[in-house]
Amino acid sequence: MNKKSVTEGRRAVITIRGLKKFFGKNHVLNGFDMDLYEGETLVIMGKSGSGKSVMIKCLIGLETHDEGTINIMGRNMENVTEDELNEIRTEVGFLFQGSALYDSMTVRENLEFPLRRHVEKMGHFSDATPLVLEALESVGLAHAIDLMPEELSGGMKRRVALARTLILRPKIILYDEPTTGLDPITSKEIVLLMKSVQQKYKTSSIIITHDVDCARFISDRMILLVDGINYAEGTFAELDASTDPKVQAFFKS
Ligand SMILES: Nc1ncnc2c1ncn2[C@@H]1O[C@H](COP(=O)(O)OP(=O)(O)OP(=O)(O)O)[C@@H](O)[C@H]1O
Ligand SMILES: [Mg+2]
């Protein structure tokens, strides 16, 4: 694949080499390699159960890996201190599938929560309202600041969850199936929103999705995770034109 054309001269913000993860006899990741370059949107596709979520969890230290190296913005995850891990978690935002809001808290309180957990980064403030409003404005929901989660639609909840990630001004955002469970129109809105966030905050992003239209619209580059490895990578057009049956299988549906 023509990797050079899209990545030349760019700095990698995440580098994964030879990542292995086993659950007993289940070898989920078998030497997975990946680079995420500064400012790019990388889409990862793979069959259900192929290990995409496990890979993301290893990346941010929610799962330990068995072999391989993970480097995030110059720090090796194999030997970070607790403080460094905390810092990385403010720089790397993630939006998990079904990213739940706290049901007993208003939208405002849901967004204030990460701010309070990371006061060192965000500085002390007497009133969080301007920060909360800015994050909500980025997702078009400033008017929902005092609503309870139960008053929001599924798409709105997903937007608030994204605002909660944005409030810490992450340099990298990891999205695990951000549109799953939403109707096609709402999915499209979320995809457009991710693109506008990308343009506004200049983040580097990894988006895991099964949605071919989303991948076509948003990806700078793609990786296909097959049999626990980086089976193919390239631009959407490059992969779409591949004659490899395992690659074609992703684009036919
Ligand atoms: N905590 C765990 N203990 C044991 N096995 C696990 C655990 N977490 C994941 N697995 C196994 O790892 C494999 C990969 O799971 P993973 O959730 O990463 O798949 P995925 O590619 O994200 O799938 P999907 O597209 O359905 O979300 C599956 O076989 C799953 O059963
Ligand atoms: Mg998953």
Task: Please report which confidence band the pLDDT of residue 252 belongs to, taking 50, 70 and 90 as the band edges.
Answer: confident
Q: What is the pLDDT of residues 212-242, one digit of tens each?
A: 999 999 999 999 999 999 999 999 999 999 9
Q: Which residues make Cβ contacts (< 8 Å) with residue 143, sequence separation at least 6? A: none
Q: How far apart are CA 76 and CA 73, in angstroms?
A: 9
Residue 126 clears pLDDT 80, i.e. is over it: no
CA-nearest residue, atom 3 of ligand 1: 23
Instruction: Give the pLDDT score at 119.
Output: 67
Distance 53 CA to ligand 2 centre (A): 4
Minimum-distance ligand 1 atom for the alpha carbon of 225: 21
Task: Please report which confidence band the pLDDT of residue 122 belongs to, taking 50, 70 and 90 as the band edges.
Answer: low
Distance 47 CA to ligand 2 centre (A): 9
Domain residue limits, the chain: 3-252
- Name the CATH architecture for the domain at 3-252: 3-Layer(aba) Sandwich (3.40)
**Residue 48 near ligand 1, beta carbon < 6 Å:** yes
Residue 49 clears pLDDT 80, i.e. is over it: yes
- β-partners of residue 41 are 205
Indicate the helix (H) or strand (E) that contains 151. none
Q: Which residues make Cβ contacts (< 8 Å) with residue 184, sequence separation at least 6? A: none
- C-alpha distance from residue 113 to each of 9, 15, 108, 221 (Å): 38, 30, 9, 33
Task: Please report which confidence band the pLDDT of residue 181 belongs to, taking 50, 70 and 90 as the band edges.
Answer: confident
Instruction: Give the pLDDT score at 55.
Output: 97
Average pLDDT over residues 66-83: 93
Task: Please report which confidence band the pLDDT of residue 124 belongs to, taking 50, 70 and 90 as the band edges.
Answer: low
Alpha helices in 13-145 (DSSP H): 52-59, 82-91, 107-117, 119-122, 129-138
